[in-house]
A and B are shown apart, each in its own frame.
Chain A
């Protein structure tokens, strides 16, 4: 559905048109196609104006920082700025590859996101199938809506709740442990717990919300398929195996690919928001991901060049991963029921 014919009806347009005609009369050399292009562009001039604010915002706040990536090759300091800071070639990248904190951050990023995908990925699929099978009722809608709620709550608040519930002295979990005669556990102070706590909390936060996309896919299955299967005497398990799962398989595959593709990017399944708010100095060996390490080195330790180099490296790896997985997803789309 396109809106290709856009007659010029206002006075200004007519004037433009007339002057354009005059122009072409005095310059007969202009090729007909160029004239037509000009006419088409004129026709849409208001709509181009509509795009100006978006273009300016994106230009200033997204493209200008890309130029700033030059800092990765500089011994940048904020007084001299980008134009007078000395260039140091690949020194920042060499420092990066020698930096043990970088490898630790890389490991934590891959481990936390990888484990999250491994454990948390299939849960929303299963839950969506369960919800889809429920008879439509107020109960279904209310419980569904409730499970979406934590998605809309900030990680600052979620982390506050987590710290409260797991506090060694006053937190509910430890109070209950003590009441049943167990030892209390310093959950948020032992590095070894951090990955698991983060993953469980992230699953709790996003489980309900992540079902939506699968529910959309499920509601796209033609009901006749189920009706025919029931007539043929298929059990509900057989319906699940032969109709439901194959129908949503492409969506599931796509979501998995996106999740894996974004593992190292700023859209990683476990975000900087989550890490920053859940971490503390005592668990830093297991908690600090690439995002956090860039923030810490760049902003807190004022190593601009080093942190920008790390950001650039991360960005390139992420881009390759995303592009690779996107290509994969295009193939799946071609074969899938889309």
Chain B
């Protein structure tokens, strides 16, 4: 017994853990997989058999139809615009603020930090915000997706924690060489803090891509809405509406409301899934940094 028993026990626990993780991974992936195969299925076949693992009556008609809906194109463009624009805008504003506030000796640092952090706890709420956006003339204005979302207190704290790990001697010596603060920020701090910038950029990009409420609230013109809004509309539209919407483009045998819905859903989720592997090594590190401090 003794040693061998212990080793056996350890092996059993490894196998059990692995098995649980495998089941969990399957449970995580399967719903997406189901939607994916459904989007490649022909409607009539899918109704006859049970779609489980593979498309029933493989077809590309759903995608061909979806890519002929004009509102898909405009909404994809709007979503890309808000994702990239919002990302750059907020990373810049939040990053600059975090860098400034990482100088703890700066007079007023505490007061400014407090001013910027208080809205994490207190807010005017939905209605005052709605009225403000209206008064600012941001209804049906593409700037509404970006302008309000420049500063994220939590991201600022995360970045500042990261900046604290950069040896003070580096910006110091650059300063002695006559570099301006802007040069120091872009030439020294930014390259050294790329992991934290990447994390913030990714969180922001994902948040922007997934946002839908502002499009719903502030945009009355369908052409200004995002892909999430279009997906939402298609998910809640009834069968008859959808058929009339796709009049002339629909082949009743292969396409149904269900297959179209699943296809738009996949189009909406795909960018996240594609970008995900490239970013995941950053976000774990970034979140760990935040976690240790928080």
Which residues of B from 215 to 259 have beta carbons under 8 Å from A?
A: 217, 228, 231-232, 235, 258
A47 partner, pick from B106, B213, B276, beta carbons under 8 A: B106
Q: A157-B268, A172-B34 are in contact. Are A140 and B21 (CB under 8 A)?
A: yes
User: Which A-chain residue is minimally distant from B178 (CB atoms)?
Assistant: A9
Q: A58-B116, A160-B235 are in contact. Are A152 and B103 (CB under 8 A)?
A: no
B50 partner, pick from A153, A163, A179, A299, beta carbons under 8 A: A179
In the docked arrangement, what's the CA distance between A275 and B202, Å?
A: 25
Q: A1-B167, A149-B273, A217-B291 are in contact. Are A134 and B96 (CB under 8 A)?
A: no
Q: Does A222 belong to the interface (CB within 8 Å)? A: no
Chain B, interface SS category: helix
List, in ascending order, chain B residues with CB within 8 A of A266's CB.
123
Q: Does B193 belong to the interface (CB within 8 Å)? A: no
Q: A10-B178, A44-B106, A50-B97 are in contact. Are A161 and B265 (CB under 8 A)?
A: yes
Determine whether the beta carbon of B217 is less than 8 Å from that of A299.
Answer: yes
Determine whether the beta carbon of B21 is less than 8 Å from that of A53.
Answer: no
Q: A3-B172, A161-B31 are in contact. Are A65 and B128 (CB under 8 A)?
A: yes
- Number of residues on chain B facing chain A (CB within 8 A): 103
Determine whether the beta carbon of A62 is less than 8 Å from that of B105.
Answer: no
List, in ascending order, chain A residues with CB within 8 A of B156's CB.
54
List, in ascending order, chain A residues with CB within 8 A of B20's CB.
130
Determine whether the beta carbon of B24 is less than 8 Å from that of A143.
Answer: yes
In the docked arrangement, what's the CA distance between A131 and B280, Å?
A: 17
Which residues of A from 110 to 142 have beta carbons under 8 Å from B?
A: 127, 130-131, 133-135, 139-140, 142
Determine whether the beta carbon of B128 is less than 8 Å from that of A7.
Answer: no
Per-residue contact bits, chain B 1-44, to A (CB 8 Å; 1 contact, 0 not): 00000000110011001101110110111011011001000000
Q: Could you give 26 example pairs across A and B, Cβ below 8 Å?
A: A2-B103, A3-B102, A7-B176, A46-B180, A47-B99, A50-B100, A53-B93, A57-B151, A62-B124, A64-B124, A65-B123, A68-B129, A146-B25, A152-B210, A152-B276, A153-B210, A154-B209, A157-B265, A160-B235, A161-B35, A170-B258, A216-B291, A299-B126, A299-B130, A311-B124, A311-B128
Question: Top 7 A-B pairs ranked by shortest CB distance?
Answer: A68-B128, A65-B124, A311-B125, A154-B210, A62-B119, A4-B105, A54-B97
